[in-house]
Amino acid sequence: SAVYARYTAGGGTLSRADWRRDNVNRFVERLYREAHDARATVRVGISPFGIWRPGNPAGITGLDAYASIYADSRLWLQRGWVDYFAPQLYWSIASTGQSFPALLGWWAQQNTQRRHLWPGLASYRIADGSSSPYSATEIPSQIALARDQAQTTGGATGTILYNGSSVRTNRSGFATTLASGLYAGGAIPPATTWLDDAPPADPTVSVVPGATAAQVTLTTASTDSWWWLVRWRAAGTWRQRLVPVTQRTLDVAAVGLEGIVVNAIDRVGNASGTVVWRP
């Protein structure tokens, strides 16, 4: 109250609520700008309450974060003050007043700057001992919905689990379900091209076959590379590893080896051209 009084005494004209939102907005903008001043390729993200304002979209009820905690989270997304945005969509698909699919689609429509939209999912609710626990299938179903939306304009291109204990403890077989299905294959985050869209130089790949293992040696003339993405096909099956660029050699199984594919990946996820080795 004292600070707001000084603001109005100094000629400020915003209402108290607008003044509080403006303070938060300026903090978010400054955080984003100064983080990138410190390191241009760092990814800045925010995970706000999953509802911007009740009625957005129609039928949504709950906390009015805009009016109650002065968080104009839609503005932060639309101004591009984030590199990834993870609204806390901690409700079920079947929920009515806080519909997961409706909120997922609404946030995609607000993503006019095409930032990474990675909604937060409430995996902590799986078999949590409450009166309304999630089944082990709820979160996989939400991940599948998010993946279905990936091709829509502004749609989700990933998800974040809150929190990691549900995976670490394999609650109700949740980690096993992910590992055998939706997470069966590894993936790298999509490139953050608004920070840097220049791909690193193609790597040089040499392979020394052996009886049981092939030794792969990797080099690059690029100073931007951060990872090697190494994929190989053996006996009709693809496998892959993502290793730091500081690691210059690795072994892959040689039995039935049909080919090796390598890309260099930079700090923001841009991929080099593909280099292929065949025996």
Q: Tell me: the pLDDT tens digits for 107-146?
A: 999 999 999 999 999 999 999 999 999 998 999 999 999 9
Residue 228 has pLDDT above 90, yes or no: yes
Alpha-carbon torsion angle 109, 112, 116, 119, nearest 10: -30
Q: In the predicted model, is pLDDT for residue 185 greater than 90?
A: no
Question: Which domains occur in the chain, in start order?
Answer: 2-180 (no CATH), 204-277 (2.60.40.10)
Rounded to whole angstroms, what are the CA distances from 277 to 147, 209, 250, 260?
A: 32, 11, 14, 5
For 157-166, the pLDDT digits (tens) are 999 999 999 9
Is pLDDT at 186 greater than 90 in this prediction?
no
Measure Cα distances from 184 to 119, 177, 262 in Å: 20, 9, 20
Average pLDDT over residues 61-86: 98
* pLDDT for the residue numbered 69: 97
Average pLDDT over residues 48-53: 98
DSSP class of residue 41 equals T
Output phi, psi for 187, to 5 deg. -150, 155
Q: Is the pLDDT of residue 41 over 90?
A: yes
Q: What is the pLDDT of residues 196-210, one digit of tens each?
A: 999 999 999 999 999
d(CA 161, CA 168): 12
Q: Phi and psi (nearest 5°) for 120? A: -85, 135
Strand-strand pairing, 45-46 and 84-85: parallel
Question: In this predicted structure, what is the pLDDT of residue 136?
Answer: 85
Angle at 82 between CA 80 and CA 83, to 5 degrees: 105
